[in-house]
Structures are given as structure tokens and as C-alpha cells.
DNA sequence: GCGTTATCCGACCTCGCTGGTAGGATTAGC
DNA sequence: GCTAATCCTACCAGCGAGGTCGGATAACGC
């Protein structure tokens, strides 16, 4: 499995916010009901999106969440990174942030060498990030609106 | 995490077989020692590769495993599929084999509709499979031989 | 000011799967 | 018939995913 339900729920949440964009804040309760998702769990997920500054919130009655930017300026690599933390092909993948994405492998830590699989994992990860970066939230919103609304 | 250690160990096993190709069967014990992997676990992994007809075996003393085809005819999509069973972006992804890869989602099973995330997951999965199919075992063997041998 | 509606926050729990082990049966060379 | 290897199945521990609970805090209406 590449992604967990954090990504699934989080993206669906973003799509829902994208649909309602410009019409004031949307409460999580409304989204949880229309998507059939557990509210308490959504709360924790939306916190990740807020920390990444993809959504904004207003507290109190009639509060809720809204997109921090227009949907066509939000790409999925930012969203997934915020939700999943990382997209690593393998447990031994640790990216050093300062080094600009250098990839370590537990097997080379002692010998300083790369293992045979590194080439493959790097290619796969590149393929994933590429597709994520090419997809905007606006596309997903449009896609979801072509389909007849369910609820 | 995209892949489990089954993929990691399995690919490294294939690379090792690729290096020794043409020099008779290689015992798992030798590979386990040179790669520092648990033998009993490797046994279960190589069974997956054998079922997929990527490796062949000879039993008994001086037996072992060898590639069923030359390394440049083995692509990583076949290897990973054999090792991991599937490469699904999300738990709700179920491919119907007969339908030629149609993708179901648990949320559309009752309503017959697609959800907003389907487009994204399909793209990502396509990106992964593409990279896997473009990489041959021969490339990984060559890559591993450019690096100074460790053991 | 006070109830209501909402976001925020952290501790807690359960369950399935990954990663690995144990023990033996079978097969082939010497 | 000993030994070295593949084969096979059952078992187990740890951990992270997925979700719950209870409460604190903040804004609006009256």
C-alpha cells in the first residue's frame, strides 16, 4: 500500500473544501457527514493540512475550514507530504532535509556504499512525486463534479 | 511506505543471482551470508519468485537457485508483482483481473460512482508501474557492480 | 453572561500485518 | 546413508494504522 487513509480522507476533505470555496468556512461536521467519515479522526487529519498552511480555520460558532489558496494553486505533492509526512519507497529510506534530498540506506551506513536496490527505489519515488506534482486540487474538484453528486 | 522488505530482499536476491549467472546454481545460504539476511525468511521470499517463474531451482547437495531468463529480460514490474502481490495506492483498490485492470473503490460499490481521489491514485499507480517496467534486472546488476563489492 | 457551536489537543485502545522463527519433510550428490 | 540443499507449514512478537474519548478553548447570538 502506498498511502494510508490519512491521504485518502485528507484529499477528499480538500476536494470538498474546493467545491465550497468562496462560500464561507465549512464545518468538519458537515464534511464528515457528507463523506461518511469519522469526525474525531478528521479533526486530526485537518490539523496536518493546517500546519502545512493549505487550509485556514475560524473557531467558534459558524466557524470551520476553507482553502488557504485557490484550488489551482494547490498541488498534490504538497498535500500528500503534509498528510503522510513522507513518501518513502522503503523503510531504509531517510532523506536528509539539509542535504537536499540525499538518500541514506541502513545498509550503507556502515560501509558508505549504495546497495543495488537504491537505483530502483529512487526511480519509483521520482515517478510518484512527479505524478503528485502534476495534479492540482482544481483537477480533482472538476473530476468530482463531472460525476453526479452522491449525497 | 510503498514496498515491504519482501521487495527489498527479493530484488537483492535477484541481483545476486544475476551477478553469478552462468556459473551454476547459488545456494540461499551463500546469499543470506553475503547480504546479511535471515535464511529462513529468504526461503519464503524466493518461493514467490519461483512461482512467478523468475528463478529456477535444483534440490539436494550443490543445488541452489538461478535466473530462469537472462537478466536483461527480467523487468522489475514482474519481480515486484511476484513479491508484493500487488502495488495498490490505497486499501480500497481492488483490481478485477478479468476486466483488464478495472479499479473498484469501496465507496462506489454501493452507488456505482467514482470518488474524487480515484483519478489521483490511478495516476500515481501508473507512474510507479511505468518506472518498474522500465527497469531491468540487468541495469541493477550493472549498477551494483560499478560500486566496489562490499563482501 | 451564558449557552451553543465549533476548533483544538492529547491520551488511550484495538487489531491486522509485517518480519521473523521453528521444525521438520523431501530430494540429490558423494 | 550421510550431508547439503530446497521445500512446506505453523507459530509468534512488535508495531503502526485507524479510530475513540474527554476535555479545553474560542467565537457568535441572545
* pLDDT at residue B1 in the model: 84
User: Does the pLDDT of residue B72 top 90, yes or no?
Assistant: yes
Interchain CB contact of B135 with A (< 8 Å): yes
CA atoms within 13 A on the CB side of B87: 27
CA neighbor of A138 nearest in space, from A53, A85, A67: A67
CA neighbor of B123 nearest in space, from A133, A67, A44: A133
**Minimal Cα distance from B132: which residue of A?**
A124
Average pLDDT, chain B: 87
How does pLDDT run across B94-129, given as a tens digit for each residue? 654 444 444 555 555 444 456 789 899 999 999 999
B133-136: long-range contacts (C-beta < 8 A, 24 or more apart)? Answer: B133/B75, B133/B76, B133/B77, B134/A123, B134/B75, B135/A119, B135/A120, B135/A123, B135/B75, B135/B76, B136/B71, B136/B72, B136/B73, B136/B74, B136/B75, B136/B76
C-alpha cell at A84: 503522510
Crossing angle of helices A39-51 and A28-35, in 10° steps, is 120
* pLDDT at residue B97 in the model: 44
Q: Residue length, chain A?
A: 151
For residues A117 and B17, what is the distance between their CA atoms, to the nearest angstrom? 14
User: A20-29, A41-50, B104-113: lowest mean pLDDT where?
Assistant: B104-113
Q: How many CB pairs lie under 8 A apart between chains A and B?
A: 119
* pLDDT at residue B71 in the model: 98
Report yes or no: A12 and A51 within 8 Å, Cβ to Cβ: no
Nearest to A140 among B2, B113, B119 (CB): B119
User: Which residue's C-alpha is at the least distance from the C1' of D27?
Assistant: A60
Place A97 in a pLDDT band, splitting at 50, 70 and 90.
Answer: very low
Interchain CB contact of B130 with A (< 8 Å): yes
* pLDDT at residue B101 in the model: 45
Nearest to B15 among A116, A130, A139 (CB): A116
Interchain CB contact of B1 with A (< 8 Å): yes
Report yes or no: A102 and A96 within 8 Å, Cβ to Cβ: yes
User: Does the pLDDT of residue B88 top 80, yes or no?
Assistant: yes
Report yes or no: A5 and A83 within 8 Å, Cβ to Cβ: no
**Minimal Cα distance from A135: which residue of B?**
B120
* pTM score above 0.85: yes
Q: Which residue has the cell 557492480?
A: B145
For residues B150 and A69, what is the distance between their CA atoms, to the nearest angstrom? 50
For residues A119 and A103, what is the distance between their CA atoms, to the nearest angstrom? 11
Mean pLDDT, rounded, for A58-84: 97
- Alpha-carbon distances of A61 from A26, A65, B47, B78, B109, rounded to whole Å: 11, 12, 60, 55, 36
Tell which wins on pLDDT, B145 or B114: B145
Q: Which of B7, B116, B132 to mutate to test the interface with A (most CBs of A within 10 A)?
A: B116
Contacts B117 to A, Cβ<8 Å = 8, 11-12, 15, 140
Strand C within 7 A of A64 CB: yes
Interchain CB contact of B13 with A (< 8 Å): no
In whole angstroms, C9 C1' to A27 CA is 18
Q: Residue length, chain B?
A: 151
How does pLDDT run across B15-41, given as a tens digit for each residue? 999 999 999 999 999 999 999 999 999
Give kind and range of the element (H or E) at residue A141. Answer: helix A137-146
Transcribe B123-145 into DSSP letters: HHHHHHHHHHHH-BHHHHHHHHH
Interchain CB contact of B92 with A (< 8 Å): yes
> Can you tell me whether residue A66 is helix, strand or coil?
strand
Interchain CB contact of A139 with B (< 8 Å): yes
Contacts B88 to A, Cβ<8 Å = 1-2
Q: Which residues between 51 and 70 in chain B have a beta carbon less than 8 angstroms from any beta carbon of chain A?
A: none
Going by their DSSP bridges, the two strands B64-67 and B55-58 should be labelled as antiparallel
Amino acid at each position: 500500500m502506498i498511502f494510508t487513509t490519512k491521504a485518502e480522507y485528507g484529499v477528499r476533505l480538500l476536494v470538498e473544501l474546493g467545491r465550497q470555496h468562496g462560500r464561507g468556512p465549512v464545518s468538519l461536521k458537515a464534511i464528515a457527514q457528507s463523506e461518511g467519515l469519522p469526525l474525531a479522526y478528521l479533526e486530526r487529519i485537518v490539523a496536518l493540512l493546517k500546519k502545512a498552511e493549505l487550509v485556514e480555520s475560524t473557531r467558534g460558532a459558524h466557524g470551520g475550514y476553507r482553502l488557504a489558496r485557490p484550488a489551482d494553486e494547490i498541488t498534490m505533492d504538497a498535500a500528500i507530504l503534509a498528510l503522510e509526512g513522507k513518501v518513502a519507497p522503503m523503510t531504509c529510506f531517510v532523506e536528509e532535509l539539509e542535504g537536499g534530498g540525499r538518500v541514506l540506506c541502513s545498509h550503507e551506513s556502515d560501509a558508505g556504499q549504495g546497495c543495488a536496490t537504491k537505483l530502483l527505489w529512487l526511480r519509483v519515488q521520482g515517478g510518484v512525486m512527479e505524478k503528485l506534482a502534476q495534479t492540482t486540487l482544481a483537477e480533482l474538484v472538476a473530476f468530482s463534479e463531472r460525476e453526479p453528486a452522491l449525497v
